[in-house]
């Protein structure tokens, strides 16, 4: 360990692993350390099932749930948008050669106590249970506008300037009611609240296009999920790192981040070993004095022996409950995966309900999501602080990620990674460098 590195990365959570991969690929000498014996940090996958029960202080599960080794339960499950930034970053680093992805079967939105498939094309719009006949036509016209829209061709903007006019203005132009606006903004464009309504419409148009492009790629839903769970991602990055001469160390206590003149990082100490470095990248747990709390997130992992009702017996599902539907400020997210992804024993499902905490009774807040999953054989509830760095890290050269939010997709995670990469290297990551697509590496 007593060597000098360009960067030392602390923690093997997904954000840290992607950053470590990006730095390695760009020629930096990287040391990657985790104080835990396992990969993944806060975003680990837990196996066998007995370990999950133990982690939550529960009695061993017994034989009811099948073989414990057949379970890989993500503590923070999130899906990947097929055409989204995370998939592009994974392709760029080359880690996809170690992973196998499978589509999520359905994408649903909650309205009036029931769930309905998120309509994304003209045919689905006309068949959707979410709208009446005339609203379906208006929504269909809106979708045609979005599909035909080209940022570089103002003729496709049709007497509306989406770079200046707001998204609310675009909804009004097509006469869409608040219910349609609700599922468009939250289940298609994946905004977490309604602040987007006042922003330029082009931002939302881009996000709807990302959803439909991702859907077009695999057909069932725009979402992907790795076989054996998200814990495969950090392990893939560890293998990748070795190719680029990086070093991974697990079960290595971090006793001190050593600072030099002006509070700038010069190394990391473990026991009486010191590794020198120019920069440190880490999650909030390694630097409690450099982060502040911005809120809380509640997550409830649920084990069930049945699919979600009204999803055509789907073996994997995402459901978004827009905040207005349940009188909240932030959305509730529900996800479901199963033995089809090798994360549960045959016949069993792993559900998750998560949201940003808004009251002193967080478990009551997630009830609308839990109701969709009932009957539930076992629940595991975690309430965690949402932490963010107190500064950008330029003076100390310590670059800290934010905690994982309540969303069930990775787009916000990626924005944080790209932001940290820019703060640390001074470069904006160039996605045009990524020439091939998921699946190309098999040929």
- Whether residue 22 has pLDDT greater than 70: yes
pLDDT tens figures, 96-129:
888 999 999 999 999 999 999 999 888 888 899 9
The strand pairing partners of 42, in sequence order, are none
- Whether residue 285 has pLDDT greater than 60: yes
Average pLDDT over residues 335-349: 96
Token output for 301: 């992992």
The strand pairing partners of 17, in sequence order, are none
- Give, rounded to a whole angstrom, the gap between the first and last alpha carbons of the chain: 38
The strand pairing partners of 116, in sequence order, are 109
CATH topology of domain 4-49+227-291+389-442: FAD/NAD(P)-binding domain (3.50.50)
Q: Which of 384, 416, 120, 102 is nearest to 232 (CA)?
A: 102
Q: How many CB atoms lie within 10 A of CB 269?
A: 15
8 Å CB contact between 427 and 420: no
What pLDDT, on a 0 to 100 scale, did the predictor assign at position 443?
32
Domain assignments of the chain as residue spans, ordered by start? 4-49+227-291+389-442, 118-218
Query: Residues 325, 310, 106, 69: is their CA dihedral positive or negative?
Result: positive
pLDDT tens figures, 129-178:
999 999 999 999 999 999 999 999 999 999 999 999 999 999 999 999 99
Strands 223-226 vs 80-81: parallel, antiparallel or unpaired: antiparallel
8 Å CB contact between 373 and 43: no
pLDDT tens figures, 78-94:
999 998 888 888 888 88
SS3 (DSSP) at 107: strand
| Cα torsion through 230, 236, 241, 243, rounded to 10 | -170
Q: Which of 159, 140, 143, 127 is nearest to 208 (CA)?
A: 143
Domains 4-49+227-291+389-442 and 118-218 agree in fold: no
> Is residue 59 very low, low, confident or very high in pLDDT (cuts 50, 70, 90)?
very high
Highest averaged pLDDT of the listed ranges 42-46, 81-85, 195-199: 195-199
- Whether residue 322 has pLDDT greater than 60: yes
Residue 53 phi/psi, 5° resolution? -60, -45
Residues 6+ apart with CB under 8 A from 195: none
Token output for 144: 């045609």
What pLDDT, on a 0 to 100 scale, did the predictor assign at position 409?
85
Q: How many CB atoms lie within 10 A of CB 394?
A: 12
pTM confidence score:
0.91
Query: How far apart (Å, rounded) are the C-alpha atoms in residues 224 and 104?
Result: 6
8 Å CB contact between 281 and 420: yes
> Is residue 436 very low, low, confident or very high in pLDDT (cuts 50, 70, 90)?
low
SS3 (DSSP) at 191: coil
What pLDDT, on a 0 to 100 scale, did the predictor assign at position 176?
97
- Whether residue 179 has pLDDT greater than 70: yes
- Whether residue 243 has pLDDT greater than 50: yes
The strand pairing partners of 389, in sequence order, are 291
Token output for 235: 């392990």
8 Å CB contact between 106 and 116: no
Does 118-218 carry CATH code 1.10.405.10? yes
């Amino acid at each position: 360990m007593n060597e000098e590195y360009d960067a030392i990365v602390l923690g093997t959570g997904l954000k840290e692993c992607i950053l470590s991969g990006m730095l390695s690929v760009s020629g930096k000498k990287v040391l990657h350390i985790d104080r835990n014996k396992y990969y993944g940090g806060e975003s680990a996958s837990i196996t066998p099932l007995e370990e999950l029960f133990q982690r939550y202080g529960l009695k061993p599960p017994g034989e009811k749930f099948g073989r414990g080794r057949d379970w890989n339960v993500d503590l923070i499950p999130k899906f990947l948008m097929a055409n989204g930034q995370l998939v592009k970053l994974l392709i760029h680093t080359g880690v996809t050669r170690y992973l196998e992805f499978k589509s999520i079967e359905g994408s649903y939105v909650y309205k009036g106590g029931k769930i309905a498939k998120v309509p994304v094309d003209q045919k689905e719009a006309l068949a959707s249970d979410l709208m009446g006949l005339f609203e379906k036509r208006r929504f269909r016209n809106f979708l045609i506008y979005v599909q035909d829209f080209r940022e570089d061709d103002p003729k496709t903007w049709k007497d509306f300037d989406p770079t200046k006019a707001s998204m609310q203005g675009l909804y009004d132009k097509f006469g869409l009611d608040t219910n349609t606006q609700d599922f468009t903004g939250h289940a298609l464009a994946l905004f977490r609240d309604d602040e987007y309504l006042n922003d330029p419409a082009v931002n939302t148009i881009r996000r709807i296009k990302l959803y439909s492009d991702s859907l077009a790629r695999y057909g069932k839903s725009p979402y992907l999920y790795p076989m054996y769970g998200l814990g495969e991602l950090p392990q893939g990055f560890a293998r990748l790192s070795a190719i680029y001469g990086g070093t991974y160390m697990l079960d290595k206590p971090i006793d001190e981040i050593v600072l030099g003149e002006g509070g700038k990082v010069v190394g990391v100490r473990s026991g009486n070993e010191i590794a020198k470095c120019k920069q440190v990248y880490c999650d909030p747990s390694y630097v409690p004095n450099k982060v502040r709390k911005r809120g809380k997130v509640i997550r409830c992992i649920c084990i069930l022996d049945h699919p979600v009702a009204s999803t055509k017996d789907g073996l994997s599902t995402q459901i978004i409950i827009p905040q207005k539907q349940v009188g909240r400020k932030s959305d509730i997210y529900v996800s479901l995966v199963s033995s089809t992804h090798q994360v549960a024993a045959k016949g069993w499902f792993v559900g998750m309900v998560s949201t940003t905490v808004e009251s002193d009774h967080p478990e009551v807040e997630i009830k609308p999501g839990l109701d969709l999953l009932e009957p539930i054989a076992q629940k595991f509830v975690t309430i965690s602080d949402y932490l963010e760095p107190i500064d950008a890290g330029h003076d100390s050269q310590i670059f800290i990620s934010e905690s994982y939010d309540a969303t069930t997709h990775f787009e916000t995670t990626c924005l944080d990674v790209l932001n940290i990469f820019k703060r640390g290297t001074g470069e904006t990551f160039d996605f045009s460098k990524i020439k091939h697509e998921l699946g190309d590496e098999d040929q």
